[in-house]
Each structure stands twice: as C-alpha cells, then as structure tokens.
A and B are shown apart, each in its own frame.
Chain A
Amino acid sequence: MKHPYVGLPDRQFWKKEPGIQDAYLLDPVGPVTMTLTRQDRIVTAGSCFAQHVARFLSQSGYNHYIAERAHPIVPARVAQTHNYGLFSARYGNIYTARQLKQLLQRAYGEFDPCEISWQSPHGEGVVDPFRPQIQPGGFLGESELLADRSHHFSCIREALENMDVFIFTLGLTEAWVDRRDGAVFPIAPGIAGGQYDPGTVAFQNFDEEETWEDLRFSLEFLRWINPCLKIILTVSPVPLNATYENRHVLVSTAWSKAVLRIVAEKAMRAFDDCVYFPSYELITSPHVMGQYYENDRREVREAGVSHVMALFMAHFTEGGGCSSRVPPEPVAVDSHLAEMERKIEVLCDEAAITNE
C-alpha cells in the first residue's frame, strides 16, 4: 500500500520512540543545523529554566560568555549571591518576549521607562523595577541604581555585540505593564519592591500575535547588531507559579506554553540559523511520567536538567554526546588583593607591640 507516511523517519512515529520503553532514551530533538564549539561565545537569557542551561554550559567547558562579572576583589560566593555569572549580564530572569524587546531597547538607549526605581521591600533604599531581585540589599538610592544600570547596559551591549550564539528560554506570557509608557516589569510591583497601584500598572497576558511581534523584533534587533548570530530558542517547562487570569493556574500554564511554543516555531521558520530545542517537550512528556518534576510538581529536578542538557550536548556540540562535566575553574584569587593583604599584614606585624 502506498501512503504519504511510508519511508518517513522513525522519530515521526510515536510507537517507534525508544523512550516509551526507557524514558532515558527519549530524544525528541529534530535535525540540528548548527554546531557549537567550545570557542563560541554563548549568551543565555530567559526565564528561570534558562538558569539551568546557563549553569550547565558553564560547568561543561563551553564558553558561557559572562560580560558582566564581579570585580576581581569580590569573592566568588559574594559574586554568586549578587547574581553575577547567573546569566551573561545581571538582567535576572527575562520572562516575556516583551521584556526581552524592551531590555534591548533600553540597553541601546531607544527606550527610557519613566519608572526608575521601586522602594526596597525592606524599607531602606531602592530596587531596580526591571530586575528587583538582582541584588540582595538593593541600592542606596536612585543615583547608585543608575550608576549600576549604566554599567549593566554597557555589559549587555558588550555581550550582544561579541556573542556567537544566543540561547533564549521563553517563559511566560503574563506580565505587569506600566500604563504610562508600556514598560513591562518582570514581577508585579509590591512583591519584591514598589507598591501595587492599579492606576499605574495593568495586567497583560500577551497572546501569540503580540508575543511573536516582540520576539521577531528582538531577533531582528540582535541580527542587526550581530548578523552572524546563531539563535537557539527553548520554552521553559516550569509551570506558572501564579496566574492573574480568573482560571486555574494549570489552564493558564497550558495556554501560556502553547503561545510560546507557537511563537518559537514561527521564529524558527522565519529566521535562518534559528533552531528550537525541545526542552519543554522532554520534561513534560508522558514518557517520563512526571518524574522530572520536584514534589511541588513545578521545579525541574536535576535528573531532568541532565537529560535535557545531555541531548543538547549530543545534538549541538562538536563532541556529539560528550556531556561530561568539567570541574569548575579554580576560584582565582585576585593577585593584587592577595599581595596587598600580605603586605598589610607585614606592615601591621612590623607595627606589632608585645605585652611581655
């Protein structure tokens, strides 16, 4: 019998998927048209699942390009606490395509939101409304925030202009928007700073057309800055923590992920050198029977991240499946600081007094 499915690859048939028998063999990644080298500068951004991708790349010997580093005098654990190295710059989680678009515009001076700062939730100082949780302790005031933001934007520009690969994880469609100028905040005011005023901010749930326009703009903007850029899109498998829509959070999650998945597909078809990596499908698939989710049924377990990243490595890297982790780089002690500390000790030793 002749029909159109004759001769198609096994991956296109549900029952031929080895992952049915053994979930660990599930591999939904399609043909990949790009290969990443260890030299490629990879910039990561997106929702909280993007943090896993960034961390794994950093630990795997790939060049997770960190443009916004802590100064060498800052110890590694302090830098980590203040979210240096989490992503390529300290932009924190970028949940929506609109947020990505506006970040690019802000970094290049094309959009200057009227909301500059939010009062810190602790009462003292301020936080950045566009990354309110980036720095425990916040900023002393708007002047300091603006000084840091200026440095932050210069690091973003450096990252975007020098990157070879951009991996963006689409996370949400729901957002809170400033009614005055359309600026999108990553979380509603009042949660991690600022005050909720319905007269100033409005809830918005971006549909597939709005999300597509925002993503298209962002990717065109990036290609304008960096024409040879390779783009990898993913959709976060992490469900919504909360929805403002008057319906069950699971229903909102399904709607939101559907929008994001459609938009990622559209982007893949519209842009050259732009691929979709199915981390969402892998984690949520019936094959793994929910075992990649933590007990809260929301956070992704390390086993899930490892499966996702093993497939990422297998399909996107030169080693093709060589996903072995390399030990983290030894923490470099700032040599100038160490030398100065030694000398101060000697100086103070010289000044020592004995009480005998």
Chain B
Amino acid sequence: MSGSILIVGHSHIRCLMEAWNKRAGYEGEYDVEFVDLIWLERQEKLAGRQVGDAVKRRVRNPSPNYICQCVNGNFHNVLGIVENPVPFSVGEENYGSAPVGNGRWFIPSSVMMDVFQARFERACKAIESVFAAFPESTRLYLNPPPPVADWEHIKAYPGVFSDNIHLGPAPNDLKIRLYELQTAYFENVARVQAASFIRAAPETLTSDGFLRADYYNADPTHGNMRYGQVMLEEIFKNAQKFRRLTRVSESLT
C-alpha cells in the first residue's frame, strides 16, 4: 500500500469517485476515501470553520497520509456558462480585456478577483478548517475542470439551464478568463495552506485551455469518469512525488 488519501469536496469529486469505484489496477496502491461536502452540508448546517470537524467525524481513517480538497469550483460557470443579460468583459494582461472590443461592461481583473474572494469567503474557511482537522496529512488541492467551450454540448445537456439557453453562449475568451481568475484564486488559497496545487492534466485540455470533448460529462459543467481517472492519477502522482521527497529528506537526516 502506497498510502491513504482522503478526498474532500463538492460536485467535482464525483468523477473521481466514479473512477475509483470502477477502478482497475489501483488495488494495493492507495486507500482512497471520499467525503462529499454537498452530502455533508445537507446533513448538518455548518459554518465554514466547522466543516473540518464534521469531516473528521465522518471518515473511516482519521489519519490519512494525504488530504486532497476540491471545494466549490463552479462559480466561473455561474458567471460564464451563458451570456449575462448585461454582457461584460474582464481585464486581461495582453489584450486589455477578454473578450477584446467595446460594447461590453468592463470589469477590471482586480475587481473580478475580489468578486471571487467575496464569493469564496465561506469556502476558504471550510478549506482551512478541513486541512487543519488533519494536521499530519500532506496537503493537496485539486483545481476543478476548465469550462466547456462547445455550445452544442451545453445545448444538448442543458440540465437546469434549459431556460437560460436563449441567452446564448458567453464568449469563449470570457469563459477561459473567468476560469483563469478562479484558478488564480484557488492557487493562492493552496499556497497559503501549503498545499500542492493540481491543475487539470494537459491531456484533458484543448489547445486553448477548455475541457476536451472526450472528458465532458452529460451535463454542462462537470468532467466525466474518464476525466476522473486521469485526475485521480494526477493526485497519485503528486502523492508519490511527496513520498519520494519525504524519503530523500529522511535519508538526508
């Protein structure tokens, strides 16, 4: 056994769990346990700082070697899955705004970052409390998958968004910019929490950074089981990296 991993998060861990449940060849490598925060928060009304203790009460293994979180993560889709009734653009370093051009309400990137920060205030406390509840575990943070660029896929699987489809697609430049900003936010949270930040694997991405069609779930925002398999491997790779580093450090001391 290479070690135990506790994976905690909202809907984006579903594909990981599916992949784990239908695993082949993972046996003997890792002991993986999941805590779904949507389910947990449905059981108990929790303030952000109480989430860690609640997770600890629910887990089989209270001392996993690794803890990986993937909390919320769909806010970029809330903002950009369909066109906003008041179309907007967001500041961007090279071209000034994404998308480029006039006629949209401009939001500077530092304002947008503060929008993310305000939205994720509770999530941030939850992340902190969950890491704190497992002080001995090596920390990992999994970034959610990038947005889906293919409007036809979104139209085919609109789910709860069926009555928003008439608004049309938000521009792809805007979608990817929102994802970049959200990623920057969580990357910073991970840095502050001394967690290794795991991005979507390059093979799951299109050349312009969107989720590749092979990894679409049958809904507009999530990755499928195949995506879950790839990202589970990424989590294992990161865990191994830490094991190797630990061994090197132990041999040096």
Contact = CB atoms under 8 A, between A and B. Distances in A.
A351 B111 contact: no
A224 B80 CA distance: 42
Interface string B75-95: 101110110111011011111
Contacts of B75: 344
Contacts of B39: 352-356
B120 interface: no
A89 to B, nearest CB: 13
B85 A336 contact: yes
B228 to A, nearest CB: 11
Nearest to A338: B78
A118 interface: no
B191 to A, nearest CB: 15
Contacts of A354: 36, 39
B221 to A, nearest CB: 7
B150 interface: no
Interface in B81-131: 81-82, 84-86, 88-89, 91-97, 102, 105-111, 113-115, 118
B93 A353 contact: no
B173 interface: no
B35 interface: yes
Nearest to B97: A147
Contact of A353 (B14, B86, B102, B164): B14
B interface, by DSSP: helix, strand, loop or mixed? mixed
A135 B38 contact: no
B96 A73 contact: no
Contacts, number: 136
A343 B81 CA distance: 11
B1 interface: no
B159 interface: yes
B114 A78 contact: yes
A138 interface: yes
Nearest to B111: A82
Nearest to A342: B160
Interface string B25-51: 000000001111011001000000000
Contacts of A136: 110
A3 interface: no
Contacts of A143: 92-96
A91 interface: no
A353 B17 contact: yes
Contact of B107 (A74, A150, A355): A74
Contacts of B111: 70, 74, 78-79, 82, 135
Bin chain B's interface residue count. Answer: 35 or more
B49 to A, nearest CB: 21
B7 to A, nearest CB: 10
A352 B39 CA distance: 7
A336 B93 contact: no
A333 interface: no
A272 interface: no
Contact of A341 (B78, B96, B105): B78
A151 interface: yes
Contact of A355 (B34, B77, B95): B34
Interface residues of A, number: 43
Contacts of B78: 337, 340-341, 344
B38 A340 contact: no
Contacts of B212: none
Given A147-B106, A355-B36, A137 B113 contact: yes
Nearest to B77: A344
A35 B41 CA distance: 57
B91 A344 contact: no
Nearest to B222: A351
Contacts of A81: 114
Contacts of A349: 11, 38
A319 interface: no
B219 interface: yes
A248 interface: no
B71 to A, nearest CB: 11
Contact of B91 (A139, A336, A346): A139
A353 B106 CA distance: 38
Nearest to A337: B78
A356 to B, nearest CB: 8
A157 to B, nearest CB: 13
A144 interface: yes
B18 to A, nearest CB: 8
A75 interface: yes
B159 A140 contact: no
Given A70-B111, A82-B110, A143-B92, A348 B118 contact: no
Contact of B115 (A73, A144, A343, A348): A73
A139 B108 CA distance: 7
10 contacts: A70-B111, A73-B107, A73-B115, A78-B114, A135-B110, A136-B110, A138-B110, A139-B110, A150-B106, A351-B11
- CB-CB nearest 9 A-B residue pairs: A137-B110, A147-B96, A348-B11, A143-B96, A151-B106, A144-B91, A351-B11, A343-B160, A140-B93
Given A140-B109, A349-B38, 10 more contacts: A73-B107, A75-B115, A136-B110, A143-B93, A143-B96, A343-B160, A351-B219, A352-B42, A353-B13, A355-B34
Interface of B: 10-11, 13-14, 17, 33-36, 38-39, 42, 58, 74-75, 77-79, 81-82, 84-86, 88-89, 91-97, 102, 105-111, 113-115, 118, 159-161, 164, 219-222
